[in-house]
Structures are given as structure tokens and as C-alpha cells.
Amino acid sequence: MIKEHVKCLIIGSGPAGYTAAIYAARAEMKPVMYAGLQPGGQLTETTEVENFPGYPEGIQGPEMMMEFRAQAERFGTDIRDGLATEAFLNETPKRILIEDKAEITADTVIISTGASAKWLGLESEERLKSGGVSACAVCDGFFYRNQDVVVVGAGDSACEEAMYLAKLCKNVTMLVRKEEFRASKIMVQRTIDTENITVMFNTETVEVLGDQVVEGIKYKNNKTNEEGVISATGFFLAIGHKPNTDIFKGQLDMDNIGYLNVTPGTTKTNIPGVYAAGDCADKNYRQAVTAAGTGCMSALDAERFLADNGIH
């Protein structure tokens, strides 16, 4: 097992982590990054990204993450494979275990472990992830202009995504598994007031139909067992996200879902020297560009911590 002390440890490798790495490396903090289970994060699961400034023609999500990585490496970030499995953030220095591979102590820790969209777990959903199944309407809705789409979920996110899609698409059908929404009253009202949104209650997805691309959704009414098919080219999941923060429970302040709490306007957690950037601390925006922004902030916050504590 490697035992090593570093000035700045970055956990997670999406746009937040890579941006933190670029800034930390340029500030000569010699950052070490552990890239996690899915190097590059959620963007490696998307296709075209058209809303990240600087790419007027758009770019594939995985390619964009390779460019972020190359930029972080160019300035000397040491990027390693491995998943942080245990954290002792109240110790000085902070101590992190990386599986059974490494024990790292660090003066500052930047947490950019992201969040994972929840999926239904259907085989057909998995198979069509690059052919019309998406967990992000803002990212992918544009590709379904004037087409028919289905949204699954009944929370605020589902309502928000359905309303976003309703502006672009011909018809939006929402599948709600219970008899009622979970979303706030105002969001529900706006949703049902939107002319081209149809809500089907007590309805569950049986299968996403299509070979290479989504062609329809087979559903079942869980009260009557009646089945049917909705013709659609896009299938959007909005059944919640899970921030990847389990290993920090009991040490870092977080909300009831697991999003890390930071001091507003900073990336500071409740433990000095520990910073949170990107989706693990953001349940509202969850965009690549906002993650990159907070990644930058976290490196600047960490740099100031090192300076204030005379760590060179």
C-alpha cells in the first residue's frame, strides 16, 4: 500500500475535479487526483454537449472530459485510478483511504465526487442510453425538437424537465407511478396547465422499445394492469439523483439527500481545509459549466487555506 502526504488531494474527476486540478497545479500545489469509478464523471455518459461555452460546434461529452484531463495533466496534476473508500477528515492532516491501494494524508482535500442520476434498471433503458434515453432534459432536450417524448418521475425535477421539454417538443407524456405528484404545488399546477403535457398516473414503464434508437415506451397501469405503448423518440428519467458522498457521512454537513453543505459563495465545508465542488454540493444547477466554476473556486479556497496556515 502506498503511503504518501500531499498538499492537495482531489477526489473525483468530472468537470469540477479537473478544473480544480488545473488551478491547483498552476498554483504549484502539486495536486494528486483519484479519478474514481467513472473517470470523467457523468459527462462520459452523454453524447453531444452544446451548451459549454467555447465549443461553438458542440463536442462529445467523453471527448470534452479528455481535454479537461489533458489540461490538468499539462500543468502537472498526478491523476491516478482509484476510488476513495474511507475518509478521516477530522484528523490533522486529513487521511483518505483509496481502496486497499493507498493511504493518503493531505493538507487540503477537494471533494468533487459528483452525483449519479437514478435509473429504473431496465435492460432496454441501459441499451438505449446513447439512443434517446437520457437523465438530463437541459443537456439533451434540444435533439427532440418537435418530437414526442416521455418523462418519468413526479418530483420537482420531473415537472421542471417536462416543462422544459414542452417548450421544445410536440408532446410530453409524464409517467407517474403513484396517484399523485410529489412535487411542490406550484410546480404541479404549472405542469398540468401546460397544454402539451399529458400526465398518466399509476403508470410504470415496462420497456423502452427500439433497436438502436427509442421508438416508443411500453407502460402498465399498476391499478388495472392494463398495458399500452406511447410512441416517442426520447425517454427522460427524472427520478432523482444521488450525490456520491456516503463516505463523508457523520463528518461533513450535508442535507437529507446527501448533498454537501458549503458556506454560500464559497466551497468551504464545515471542516477547514476541506472543500466541495460540483454536483456533490449542488442539487439545483448540476451543469458542467457550474461544476467547473465551483472547481475553480475550490482550488482558490484551498490555496488560501495553505497560505493562511503557512504551508508551502
Using CB under 6 A, list all residues that contact ligand NDP.
120, 152-158, 160, 177-178, 182, 239-241, 283
Select the residue whose beta carbon is closest to ligand NDP and give its number.
155
Say which of 8, 136, 280, 296 is annotated catalytic. 136
Query: Has 140 been annotated as catalytic?
Result: yes
Query: Has 136 been annotated as catalytic?
Result: yes
**Contacts of the segment 283-288: beta carbons below 8 A, 24+ positions apart:** 283/115, 283/241, 283/243, 283/255, 283/257, 283/259, 286/115, 286/136, 286/241, 287/51, 287/138, 288/14, 288/15, 288/43, 288/49, 288/52, 288/64
Shortest reach from residue 213's CB to ligand NDP, in Å: 22
Say which of 107, 140, 282, 301 is annotated catalytic. 140
Element (H, E) at 98: strand 94-98
Residue among 22 and 115 whose Cβ is closer to ligand NDP:
115
Element (H, E) at 268: none
Q: What is the DSSP letter of 206?
A: E
Q: Which of 295, 279, 299 is nearest to 42 (CA)?
A: 279
Residue among 188 and 300 whose Cβ is closer to ligand NDP:
188
Shortest reach from residue 169's CB to ligand NDP, in Å: 19
Shortest reach from residue 59's CB to ligand NDP, in Å: 26
Q: Kindly state the cell numbers that stand for 285.
A: 444547477
Shortest reach from residue 238's CB to ligand NDP, in Å: 6
As annotated, the active-site residues are 136, 139-140
